[in-house]
Amino acid sequence: MSKETKPTLHDVGALAGVAARTVSRVVNGETGVSVKTREKVDKAIEALKFRPNLAARALRSDRSFLVAILNNNPSPHYVADVVRGVSRVCRETGNFLTLEEFTPADNNIAESIAELVDSIRLAGAILIPPLTDDAAILDLLEAHEIPMVRMSPASDAARTDAVFARDGDGVRQLVNHLYQLGHRRFAIVGGPSSHRSSRIRMAAFTGALTALGISPATVIIEQGDYTYDSGAEATRRILSLPHKMRPSIICAANDEMAAGVISVLGASGIAVPGEIAVTGFDDSEIARLIWPPLTTIRQSIVEQAEAAARLLLDRSSVKDGPRRIEQEVELVIRKSTSRDI
């Protein structure tokens, strides 16, 4: 049984009593096949467990059914969620997923991508930050006319289809919640200004605080780069300030930096949240795993990725210009801002 050669369109056609071309039409859901014929063919496909040969399809029709995720983002959680979302959509739609993985330091990214797109006509590409903003890569994909969707691009947002989270909304919810808890002395650990998300989050923080009557001038602002170490470093600077300037809450622009914040506070014998409360952003796995667990903003990367993949594979509305999807976020309250500790 495993010895026999794989069934082809011709085999199916022979069994169903039609030409291979007709089977092809059925397989591709093309119009112009009578219901009766379609049923016969479907039955034969079922009987032979026929599956179209990917290579032959790709060669003949110049459509590869391969969706590429292009990534140089070092955060495993983020990437895993993107893969999960895209993977699900690919399976639904009969596509396959290929992953082009780079280190942040890699300087041959364009070269590797060129190799891929020159070798086969991709069904499309999904770009993850910070690679979303590499002009050379965008140029390359455009030159090859590869459909692409970018996730949270920082620059040139209208250049391609894109998916975003409503980061600003999340920050506003968070700040309002903290204000209601009684916090008035805020410290913010921002992310790298090269990331769109950092800039948006920071602007939303100061905006929301101002709206509550808290002058940005009284807010301690430190700069990080989204890494754990930078969060720890920023916290040391905050703790070195005169004691009366010490904040009651430190808001980090992502969870990883918040973990760094908490570790330094812990090492300094400062109770969290008793003396200083802490918040993160993203609701990544770590938010749940550290102690105390982090109050944070959840953005479902899986859903964003699914939306991106669907956008990518649905070419029907492309001609109307770049499309844009915005994803809701959600405030997740955990112990790191609890009042009763």
Partner DNA sequence: ACGCCAACTGCCAACGTTGAAAAGCGGCGA
Partner DNA sequence: TCGCCGCTTTTCAACGTTGGCAGTTGGCGT
Encoded tokens for 322: 């770049």
Residue 274 contacts DNA per CB under 7 A: no
| Burial class of residue 269, CB neighbours in 10 A (0-12, 13-18, 19+) | exposed
Alpha helices in the chain (DSSP H): 9-16, 20-27, 35-48, 54-61, 76-93, 109-119, 135-143, 167-180, 196-211, 228-239, 255-267, 285-289, 301-313
Binding partner of residue 290 among a second copy, DNA, none, CB cut-off 5 to 8 Å per kind = a second copy
Q: Which is nearer to DNA, 65 or 186 (CB)?
A: 65
CA distance linking residue 50 with residue 44, whole number of Å: 8
Among positions 2, 31, 103, 180, the unique one binding DNA when judged by CB under 7 A: 31
Residue 10 contacts a second copy per CB under 8 A: no
Q: Which is nearer to a second copy, 62 or 320 (CB)?
A: 62
**Smallest gap from residue 27 Cβ to DNA (A):** 5
Whether residue 208 contacts residue 171, with contact meaning beta carbons closer than 8 Å, is answered with: yes
First to last CA, the chain: 67
Among positions 43, 46, 47, 53, the unique one binding DNA when judged by CB under 7 A: 53
CA distance linking residue 291 with residue 294, whole number of Å: 8
Residue 83 contacts a second copy per CB under 8 A: yes
Q: Which is nearer to DNA, 33 or 220 (CB)?
A: 33
Residue 183 contacts DNA per CB under 7 A: no
Residue 43 contacts DNA per CB under 7 A: no
Residue 45 contacts DNA per CB under 7 A: no
Residue 8 contacts DNA per CB under 7 A: yes
Q: Which is nearer to DNA, 56 or 211 (CB)?
A: 56
Among positions 43, 46, 47, 59, the unique one binding DNA when judged by CB under 7 A: 59
Residue 28 contacts a second copy per CB under 8 A: no
Encoded tokens for 287: 């938010």
Encoded tokens for 156: 């040139």
CA distance linking residue 170 with residue 186, whole number of Å: 17
* CA 160 to chain CA mean position, Å: 16
Residue 37 contacts DNA per CB under 7 A: yes
Q: How many CB atoms lie within 10 A of CB 248?
A: 16
| Residues 315-334 close enough to bind a second copy by CB under 8 A | none
Q: CA angle, 333 as apex, 265 and 188 as ends, to 5°? A: 45
Residue 56 contacts DNA per CB under 7 A: yes
Instruction: List contacts with DNA (CB under 7 A).
Output: 5-6, 8-10, 13, 17-22, 24-25, 27-28, 31-34, 36-37, 50, 52-53, 56-57, 59-61
Binding site for a second copy (CB under 8 A): 2, 6, 49, 51-59, 64, 66, 76-77, 79-81, 83-84, 87, 91, 96-101, 103, 112, 115-116, 118-120, 143-144, 228, 256, 259-260, 262-263, 266-267, 285-286, 288-293
